[in-house]
Chain A
Amino acid sequence: MNEAIRFIVDVASLGSLYALMALGLVLVYGILRLVNFAYGELIMIAGYTLYLLSGSPLPWLVMAACAVVAALAASVLTERVAFRPVREKSLTAMLITSFAVSTLFQNAALLFISPRARLVPLPDLFSESIVIGGMLFFVRELLAIVVSISMLVLFTALLNRTVLGIALRAAADNFRMTRMLGVPANLVIGVAFAISGFLAGIVALFWLGRTASVMPGIGLEPLIVAFVATVLGGMQSLVGAVVGGYVLALMTVGINTFLPQALVDYRQAFTFSLVILILLFRPEGLVRGK
């Protein structure tokens, strides 16, 4: 019983992070058909912001807010500087641009900070654990679940209740039609990138919380996770992204718990073969349509 609860909490905390990441990626994809390869670097930027602020006397929550704002700003800025000029040209041009932006950010971190891992400040709360019903839980994991789920609720409310949210959903559904109805394209795209960066910033806090350090290549794993989750859930749907995130977490934790170590080494190979199979046989993912 206890092990089952342990398992569920692991899946829920990892899945919540994965879901947020997938959501940030799919939001931009829905509108622009752009898979943002630079998405993982937003997490890196949030991490380095925390690192750079680590000597300051600011309370941790302020530093965390700065980190989230930095990720958001980087996301909006790359849209403005790099993606907007190539937007009209071709899909491939936009994808290569995002790949180049990702390389640019990584190497900037390499050049201006260091190739080595740097410590990020974390609140004491992250390393504490509490006992509930005779079981030991990391506060960080429970916090990840609570924060992610409130983000999802907030995000759903934004999409369903506000004009901006409706415009975003409309744009994800049929961008050209939305523009014709008088919704300014640049605004919608800008907002999508801003939300995407915001979600990446929130995820970064918990993602970095696991290792308490940041290095130039740190963005690759979250990027890959977000890719897989979106493909699993279905690229066309925001709900799908969330479902995909949780399913991927279930698979990851399941593989780590039940498979022998020799096979765990090939985990990435298995996950990605699954991605290819889904793209081939069920390209709409687990959640059909919108």
Chain B
Amino acid sequence: MSMSLRLLRDRIPGASTVLMLVVMLLLIAAVTEALGSTVLSRFAIRMFIDMTLVLGLQMFMGNSNILWFPHVGFMGIGAYASVIFSMSPLQKILSLPELYPFLADVNLPFLPALLAGALVAAAVAAVIGLPLMRLSDFPAVIAGFAMLIVIHAVLTHWEALTNGPQTLFGVERRTYVMNSAIWACVFVAVAYWFKESKSGLQLRASRDDLVSTSSIGVNIVAVRWFALVLSAFAAGIAGGLFAHFITSFSPKAFFLRETFIILAMLVIGGPATVTGAVLGTVIVTIVYQTLRWVENTLNIEQVFAQPIAGLTDITLAVMLIGMLILRPAGIFERREIGWQALRALWPWTGADAAPEPAADPQVVRKAAETKQRR
């Protein structure tokens, strides 16, 4: 098959992937709005925020296969930065009394504040993340873990900007079902576009075989860095949405527990695919929120002598470990949802209706290896 034909074939199911996911998300949002239940819409908003976050993580971690801890740190930076941009000067006197004077009068509308907050997160990631991009495997993981702890320590102690370890309160509620859903949709498209773009392909190639990829002249540091900045931008948006949804929060919200939850979402869904990131978030949210509801109901009804806690996270941890043992690449290993995937399920088409994705890197690699031996 010629190159252009192959590209065309890869592009069209791609458009259908984005379309299907976006339609699904908007449908969830519309149904939630129509039902008008407060509880349900809180679930949905939380889900769309997490989805934005997980899609951001997918862009970097999914395509590079570097276990990446600082992601929720960038979410925290986005959250605090967007609040500093959006909060009214009067409220700042109460909520952030030690804020620097040049920031005290800044008062942007929600959308510019959200974007500015995300840009701050992306800029921080661009600067402090750049040197880390040449690390791989274990050093990358530990350096990332160290970076999360540094960000957390700074958020906890920089009282002027964050109110320190105490709760920052008095943020206006600006995040609703529809705008959070739209942001999730935007990042579905961005994540898909990035994955299929030239740099995305190069990053995926480096994930599958680092040495060969750099041997064909790919600048791995540059490609990873670009993905990191995009991913931190998404995290920053998610942070801003979170801040203007929850309206009072402390640095504790952006640490290991949230990291565990978004990792579970991405890994259960399938880190290599955008579909995996989206549906992983949906599945984990449903399980998680249902269990939380059970836990809360049991506690309110006082079924046990003492209030119970931790059941939800235990279940999630078991799910995650089980998934890694049975199907380590997640539910959606390589194939995205799309016309072709649906046609494969359709019983009247032949089994060959949905050929395996052409760019199976394992195959490519093996081919290259046999060639070398000759």
**A contact residues vs B (CB 8 Å cutoff):** 29, 33, 35, 82, 85-86, 89-93, 95-97, 99-101, 103-104, 106-111, 114-115, 216, 220, 224, 227, 231, 235, 265-266, 268-269, 272-273, 275-276, 279-280, 283
- Assess the B309–A110 pair: CB atoms within 8 A: yes
- On chain A, the residues within 8 Å of B147 by CB distance are 272, 276
- Assess the A89–B317 pair: CB atoms within 8 A: no
User: Once the chains are docked, how many angstroms separate the CA of A235 from the CA of B137?
Assistant: 13
- Assess the B137–A100 pair: CB atoms within 8 A: no
User: Once the chains are docked, how many angstroms separate the CA of A104 from the CA of B322?
Assistant: 12
Nearest CB in chain B: distance from A87 CB, A: 10
Interface string of B110-150 (1 = CB under 8 A from A): 00000000000000000000011011011101110111011
| B contacts with A, residue count (CB < 8 A) | 42
How many residue pairs at the A-B interface have CB separations less than 8 Å? 123
Given A103-B313, A276-B146, 4 other A-B residues pairs in contact with their CB atoms under 8 A? A82-B321, A100-B260, A107-B309, A272-B150
- Assess the A93–B149 pair: CB atoms within 8 A: no
B370 at the interface (CB under 8 A from A): no
- Assess the B149–A101 pair: CB atoms within 8 A: no
- Residue of B138, B260, B310 touching A35 (CB-CB under 8 A): B138
**B contact residues vs A (CB 8 Å cutoff):** 65-67, 131-132, 134-135, 137-139, 141-143, 145-147, 149-150, 153-154, 157, 256-257, 260, 263-264, 267, 306, 308-311, 313-314, 316-318, 320-321, 324-325, 328
- Assess the B150–A283 pair: CB atoms within 8 A: no
Main secondary structure of the interface of A (DSSP, over half): helix
Nearest CB in chain A: distance from B335 CB, A: 19
- Assess the B324–A86 pair: CB atoms within 8 A: yes
- On chain A, the residues within 8 Å of B308 by CB distance are 111
User: Once the chains are docked, how many angstroms separate the CA of A36 from the CA of B306?
Assistant: 32
Nearest CB in chain A: distance from B312 CB, A: 8
- Assess the A269–B132 pair: CB atoms within 8 A: no
- On chain B, the residues within 8 Å of A93 by CB distance are 324, 328
- Residue of B134, B139, B149, B328 touching A89 (CB-CB under 8 A): B328
- Assess the B317–A275 pair: CB atoms within 8 A: no
- Residue of A89, A108, A227 touching B310 (CB-CB under 8 A): A108
Known: A95-B141, A104-B314. A268 touches B149 (CB 8 A): yes
- Assess the B141–A268 pair: CB atoms within 8 A: no
Nearest CB in chain A: distance from B121 CB, A: 18
- Assess the B153–A272 pair: CB atoms within 8 A: yes
- Assess the B310–A110 pair: CB atoms within 8 A: yes
Most buried by A among B137, B150, B257: B150
- On chain A, the residues within 8 Å of B317 by CB distance are 100-101, 103-104, 107
- On chain A, the residues within 8 Å of B67 by CB distance are 92, 95-96
- Assess the A89–B324 pair: CB atoms within 8 A: yes
Identity of the chain B residue whose Cβ is nearest the Cβ of A29 in the assembled complex: B138
Nearest CB in chain A: distance from B135 CB, A: 6
- Assess the A280–B157 pair: CB atoms within 8 A: no
| 14 A–B pairs (Cβ distance < 8 Å), ordered by A | A33-B137, A92-B66, A93-B328, A95-B67, A97-B321, A103-B316, A104-B318, A106-B313, A115-B309, A266-B153, A268-B150, A275-B142, A279-B135, A279-B146
User: Once the chains are docked, how many angstroms separate the CA of A95 from the CA of B328?
Assistant: 12
